[in-house]
């Protein structure tokens, strides 16, 4: 009995042709940013596929990311202020004390 170990050429599939295309256009232009701002206002920031259709070559994911991380009004970039850092630290410490208290109640300690 002879076993054919040769692969059939038809069995190998080029996944690059069947996987969805990814757009990588590089840096955003000022015109794209302005178009994105207007599109977000027009669609109330809800339908990112429709918003992306207004920007040639940009996906809904790229548009959402650009909006949330770069263009969204009120976005604060940079390090936390000492006040914000202290507030977050207090909240975190209180959470751990509360969590510890709940665990003590559950295990009966």
Output the domain CATH number for residue 52: 1.10.10.60
Q: Are 85 and 67 in a shared domain?
A: no
The verdict on pTM exceeding 0.85 is no
Is 63 in contact with 102 (CB distance < 8 Å)? no
3 state DSSP class of 95: helix
Q: What does the pLDDT read at residue 24? A: 61
In a shared domain, residues 61 and 92: no
Residue 2 domain flag: no
* Residues 61 and 35 both lie in one domain: yes
Is 54 domain-assigned? Answer: yes
My answer on whether 36 and 71 are in the same domain is: yes
Cα–Cα dist 45/64, whole Å: 9
Say if residues 51 and 39 touch (Cβ distance below 8 Å).
Answer: yes
pLDDT in tens, 58-89: 999 999 999 999 999 999 888 989 999 999 99
Q: Which residues of the chain have pLDDT under 50?
A: 1-19
The structural domain count of the chain equals 2
What is the domain extent for residue 84? 78-109
Residue 35 lies in a domain: yes
Residue 19 placed within a domain: no
């Amino acid at each position: 009995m002879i076993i054919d170990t040769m692969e059939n050429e038809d069995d190998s599939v080029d996944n690059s042709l069947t996987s969805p295309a990814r757009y990588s256009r590089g840096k955003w232009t000022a015109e794209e940013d302005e178009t994105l701002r207007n599109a977000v206002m027009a669609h109330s920031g809800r339908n990112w596929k429709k918003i992306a259709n207004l920007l040639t070559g940009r996906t809904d994911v790229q548009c959402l990311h650009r909006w949330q991380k770069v263009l969204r009004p009120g976005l604060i970039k940079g390090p936390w202020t000492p006040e914000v850092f202290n507030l977050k630290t207090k909240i975190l410490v209180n959470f751990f004390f509360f969590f510890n208290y709940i665990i003590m109640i559950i295990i009966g300690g």
